[in-house]
Amino acid sequence: DAKTTQPTSMDCAEGRAANLPCNHSTISGNEYVYWYRQIHSQGPQYIIHGLKNNETNEMASLIITEDRKSSTLILPHATLRDTAVYYCIVRGIISGGYNKLIFGAGTRLAVHP
Amino acid sequence: KAGVTQTPRYLIKTRGQQVTLSCSPISGHRSVSWYQQTPGQGLQFLFEYFSETQRNKGNFPGRFSGRQFSNSRSEMNVSTLELGDSALYLCASSRTGPDTQYFGPGTRLTVL
């Protein structure tokens, strides 16, 4: 299974951009990078995913390096409600089946006033 | 479109009992996966059902089982409950295979 490495915790000031890094050096060619977040004791919330190209939606942007060994999730203007645990997941058939998500410990993002 | 729903949201059981949790996927979604979340082990994959068949299974004992109905709704059952089964049980649905999974709010199970 492709493993991901994320910092344990990060801080961000409200209104500033939050940049959350993720290393996935063993990713295979057909594996996607997914980001979810979990606000205390709620179900994980899907944020964004990508294969090779950078992606943007109403919640965030995902920047994937050209060699695909790492990526960065960007929350452009963090708010207090973005305080959560953010999970970077590599997903694909090589990971054990498309619908078997393997969660790591994630990054605990604290947004402060 | 309604999201994934799980019932009940909270449950308290005693050791040795069994429990059944229910999950209704997003309309049109045929794949349902179950996960267990505990403070010690984090989020772990239990199993996945697609078209009423178990398609994938995690590393959990046989006390954990599930099924899926023709309308894609799914149930998971835990028999002979142990204290360590206290956890947040999460259900996620997706349309088919390589598709984004969306999670429900979870069922908080406490075993006394």
Residue B110 tokens, joined: 């406490």
Residue A105 tokens, joined: 């410990």
CB atoms under 10 Å from CB of B15, counted, come to 11
User: Which residue numbers of B have CB closer than 8 Å to A's CBs?
Assistant: 4, 31, 33, 35, 42-45, 48, 50, 55-56, 58, 88, 90, 92, 94, 97-106, 108
Q: Tell me, what's the pLDDT at A97?
A: 65
Spatial separation of the C-alpha atoms in residues A45 and A103, rounded to whole Å: 13
- The stretch A31-37 carries a mean pLDDT of 94
Q: Tell me, what's the pLDDT at A96?
A: 62
- The stretch A69-73 carries a mean pLDDT of 97
Alpha-carbon radius of gyration of chain A: 13
> Which of A5-9, A63-67, A94-98, B34-38 has the lowest average pLDDT?
A94-98
Q: Do residues A73 and A87 touch, judged by C-beta distance below 8 A?
A: no
Tens-place pLDDT, residues B64-111? 999 999 999 999 999 999 999 999 999 999 998 668 999 999 999 999
